[in-house]
Amino acid sequence: MENGLLIVISGPSGVGKGTVCKQLLHDNDKINLSVSATTREPRAGEIDKISYFFIDKEEFESMIVNGEFLEYAYVHGNYYGTPKKYVLDKIEKGNDVLLEIDIQGALKVKEMYPDGVFIFILPPSMEELKKRIINRGTETEDAIEKRFMAAYKEIQYVFKYDYAVLNDEIELAVKRIESIIDAERYKVNRQIDIIKEI
């Protein structure tokens, strides 16, 4: 059996990648969302092994030492990481796995697993991205400007990815990602077993 695809989706802050990924998962029940491990406390409504694998710092650090993460980061005083075994087990059984992670994490995954499909979500324009960041609400003008400048820098990383998908409309962005996934499946090197049997 051929391996499933490891699909990695990132993009700048405010681009709407969370919404796009949610819709993609909703429309494609064969795509599994990777569950990260974290040392932070569960929030109300979060379920262990579904929202995250909630583990303590000691366990997380021993998993780092044992090379059990595809990538990990220390964010706001807590560890977060993508467990290698969970992801690779699913892929080896022919299931597709989606990682929605930040750019730094995605680049680390690319080093470990270059066979993945790396997709970068782009806004239709920088003005539109700024509008979306402002529409998220609550933040001061200064915070919005900082977030926008960070997003501006993040967009430069698009060149490290395999595909760039415009998120002008969610449904269109999802369709574009689905066509990338379809095309990836037809790659010769992903069909070696099938070809050998012909």
Task: Identify which of 171, 131, 197, 185 has the alpha carbon closest to the alpha carbon of residue 26.
Answer: 171
- Of 106 and 165, nearer to ligand 5GP (C-beta) is 106
**Phi-psi label, residue 138: left if phi above 0, alpha if psi -120 to 50, beta otherwise:** left
* CB contact burial 95-122 (16+ within 10 A = b; e otherwise): ebbbbbbebebbbbbbeebeebbbbbbb
The answer to whether the beta carbons of residues 14 and 123 sit under 8 Å apart is yes
By CB under 6 A, is residue 96 in contact with ligand 5GP?
no
Taking CB under 6 A as the criterion, the residue among 33, 55, 73, 122 binding ligand 5GP is: 73
Q: Is 134 exposed, middle or buried (0-12, 13-18, 19+ CB in 10 A)?
A: middle
Taking CB under 6 A as the criterion, the residue among 16, 63, 68, 80 binding ligand 5GP is: 80
Enter the tokens of residue 94.
Answer: 């022919």
- Of 18 and 124, nearer to ligand 5GP (C-beta) is 18
By CB under 6 A, is residue 81 in contact with ligand 5GP?
yes
By CB under 6 A, is residue 22 in contact with ligand 5GP?
no
Taking CB under 6 A as the criterion, the residue among 8, 17, 20, 36 binding ligand 5GP is: 36
- In 28-83, which residue ranges form alpha helices assigned H by DSSP? 57-65
Gap between the terminal Cα atoms of the chain:
14
Least distance to ligand 5GP, CB of residue 119, Å: 16
By CB under 6 A, is residue 172 in contact with ligand 5GP?
no
Taking CB under 6 A as the criterion, the residue among 22, 40, 110, 185 binding ligand 5GP is: 40
By CB under 6 A, is residue 123 in contact with ligand 5GP?
no
Least distance to ligand 5GP, CB of residue 44, Å: 13
Contacting residues toward ligand 5GP, per CB under 6 A: 36, 40, 71, 73, 75, 80-82, 101-102, 105
